[in-house]
Amino acid sequence: MNHLNEQLSNLVQGRVIVPGDPSYDETRQIWNAMIDRRPAVIVECANASDVPVALTYARDNNLEITVRGAGHNIAGSAICDNGLMIDFSKMNHVRVDPEKRRAYVEPGTTLGDFDAAVQQHGLATPVGINSTTGIAGLTLGGGFGWLTRKYGMTIDNLISAQVVTADGSQLTASETENPDLFWAIRGGGGNFGVITEFEFRLHPVGPEILAGLMVFPFEQAKQVLTQYRKFTKSAPEDLNVWVVMRQAPPLPFLPEAVHGKEVIVLAIFYVGDIKEGEKLIAPLRDFGNAHGEHIGAQPYSDWQQAFDPLLTAGQRNYWKSHNFSELCDDALDQLINFAGKLPTSQCEIFIGQLAGASNRVPASAMAYSSRDAKFVLNVHARWEHQSEDEKAISWARAFFKATTPFASSGAYVNFMTAEEGDRVSAAYDTNYQRLVEIKRQYDPDNLFHLNQNIKP
């Protein structure tokens, strides 16, 4: 470790990790294996006070700055070559106040950590669907999941945040303190500072919910999708049904002959009374002749981990995404067309249903503006070997282009890849100019620019 890094090591309470250290390669790994970068120095923070020190050191030494929560971001913006990475992996504590229904969450927390802590009290808030996702990146980009129809986006449930801004100030952002900063971080990504704690509103959920899968033959995709579209228009907000189109994994409830074949899957989640939920989902069985189903009462936190085996770290990933206010026939035809020519066995297309509480928040209420989105489409290209890059990426891009005419405005920044910087202003729509002004106030030199960047 050189003299400067020794100085840094003496100033922070966490660890300073540099190339050559035994834990360097493991610490710099992130979820998407396409991203393989080597920072000059990693500050593994022990607490919030390490952040201003790291920022000062980076500025004094002309180092780019990145921030790693759980490293799950598709664009890989947690890490850069030859810069300084602020690493929060050791700051993953969740404190719950069950009386107030509040959770105070450190930025290295994964959704698995969060759900485990709050479910001890029969509480939850809307977060994503993969337990290894980090709460920080998810929240700053918006955040949605199974509870979104009933309780809104993750950001709709953020009460306050502790923020270290570009000049090293440690601020509280809430509706009453620094409200402009609070407005901006709810959807504005990591553009405005480094969050060292989130305060979330919690809701009674579980501990048991009704959830599971219905798997239909791919040949029945059009009839399933058409009926799904009709069903979702009147389904209560306690019920959320997503669509997944992919090759069938070797699930025990499916006949062996179906494994590896293209299928259309309904992923079902109901947060109310189990018996009532069973009645509500019964019509889904008439959408087609299912290969099989596996649905029942289960712990909420188990369902939150159900898709983890399909989303493990270490694979190459590339995403493209659209919002939809409706699913027209032409859009459904393109879905079926591209799901019929998946380039690898791990690729999938999913439609997440958002319609409900999140649509009742005004588009101007916070940075995230896509309040007309009733569905989010994610084209998830996923594969193992670099030799498959071209076919997987070109498939995702072609599908994205083919569905663009039918998409609604805005974009979900958490699903945007590194080369989609030209979509940033469109993602925020009429909120973009206000974001630029707030960026100018809190980060005039654009210190935090390795992200879906809002330029001051």
Nearest Cα to 162, choosing from 143, 180, 142, 177?
177
- Name the residue among 201, 177, 172 with its Cα closest to residue 100: 201
CA distances to 175, 307, 335 from 213, rounded to whole Å, are 40, 11, 20
pLDDT for residue 54: 97
Q: How confident is the model at residue 373 (pLDDT cuts 50, 70, 90)?
A: very high
Helices and strands (H and E) in the chain: how many: 14, 18
Distance between first and last Cα of the chain: 36
Hey, what amino acid is at 109?
Answer: T
Q: Are 255 and 291 in contact (CB under 8 A)?
A: yes
Phi, psi of 223 (to 5 degrees): -70, -35
Of the candidates 115, 122, 157, the one whose C-alpha atom is nearest the C-alpha of residue 139 is: 157
**pLDDT tens across 192-241, in order?**
999 999 999 999 999 999 999 999 999 999 999 999 999 999 999 999 99
Q: In whole angstroms, how far apart are CA 267 and each of 79, 239, 416? A: 33, 11, 24
Structure tokens at 362: 């005004």
Q: What is the dihedral of CA 451, 452, 455, 456, to 10 degrees?
A: -70
- Is the Cβ–Cβ distance between 397 and 419 less than 8 Å? no
Can you tell me the mean pLDDT for 285-307?
97
Determine the pLDDT at residue 6: 83
The CA angle 439-441-442, to the nearest 5 degrees, is 70
- The predicted pLDDT at position 69 comes to 96
Q: Taking the complete model, does pTM exceed 0.85, yes or no?
A: yes
* Cα gap 197→114, rounded to integer Å: 13
The predicted-structure confidence for 75-108, as pLDDT tens digits, reads as follows: 999 999 999 999 999 999 999 999 999 999 999 9
The pLDDT confidence band at residue 308, using thresholds 50, 70 and 90, is very high
3-state secondary structure of 135: helix
309-363 per-position pLDDT tens digit: 999 999 999 999 999 999 999 999 999 999 999 999 999 999 999 999 999 999 9
Backbone angles phi, psi at 85, to 5 degrees: -105, 120
Residue 9 phi, psi dihedral angles, 5° rounding: -60, -35
Contact 419, 354 (CB under 8 A): no
pLDDT digits (tens, 9 = 90+) for 383-426: 999 999 999 999 999 999 999 999 998 899 999 998 888 899 99
Rounded CA-CA distance 419/336 in Å is 26
Mean pLDDT of 155-178: 98
Instruction: Please state, as a whole number, how many other Cβ atoms lie within 10 Å of the Cβ of residue 263.
Output: 27
pLDDT (mean) for 172-191: 98
Q: Hey, which residues does 68 pair with through a beta bridge?
A: 87
Q: Is the CB of residue 260 less than 8 Å from the CB of residue 246?
A: no
* Across 167-176, average pLDDT: 97
pLDDT at 412 (0 to 100) = 94
Residue 62 pLDDT more than 90?
yes
CA distance 60 to 221: 57
| Contact assessment for residue 138 and residue 154, using Cβ atoms and an 8 Å cutoff | yes
Using alpha carbons, list the distances in angstroms from residue 56 to 15, 20, 31, 263.
Answer: 16, 24, 28, 52
Angstrom CA distances, 141 to 154, 191, 194, stand at 9, 10, 14
HSE, side-chain direction, 13 A CA sphere, residue 50: 23
| Cα separation, 164 vs 171, whole angstroms | 6
Q: How far is Cα 154 from Cα 148, in angstroms, rounded to an integer?
A: 8
* Phi and psi at residue 185, to the nearest 5°: -75, -15
Residue 75: per-residue pLDDT = 93
Query: How much is the pLDDT for 422?
Result: 86
Contact assessment for residue 354 and residue 414, using Cβ atoms and an 8 Å cutoff: no
115-132 per-position pLDDT tens digit: 999 999 999 999 999 999
Indicate the DSSP class of residue 343: S
Residues of the chain with pLDDT > 70, as a percent, come to: 99
| Residue 3 pLDDT greater than 80, yes or no | no
pLDDT at 260 over 80: yes
Q: What is the pLDDT of residue 166?
A: 97
268-282 pLDDT, tens digit per residue, is 999 999 999 999 999
Query: How would you classify the pairing of strands 348-353 and 292-299?
Result: unpaired
Residue 7's pLDDT band (boundaries 50, 70, 90)? confident
Q: What is the reported pLDDT for 2?
A: 73
User: What DSSP string describes 33-100?
Assistant: TT-----SEEEE-SSTTHHHHHHHHHHHTT--EEEESSS--TT-TT--TTSEEEE-TT---EEEETTT
Amino acid at 88: F
Phi-psi region of 430 (alpha: psi -120 to 50; beta: other; left: phi over 0): alpha
CB atoms within 10 A of CB 330: 12
Q: Phi and psi of 319, rounded to 5°?
A: -120, 150
User: What is residue 414's predicted lDDT score, i.e. its pLDDT?
Assistant: 93
Q: Which domains, from first to last, does the chain contain?
A: 3-87 (3.30.43.10), 94-205+431-442 (3.30.465.10), 208-415 (3.40.462.20)
- At 41, list the tokens: 């120095």
CA distance 316 to 332: 27
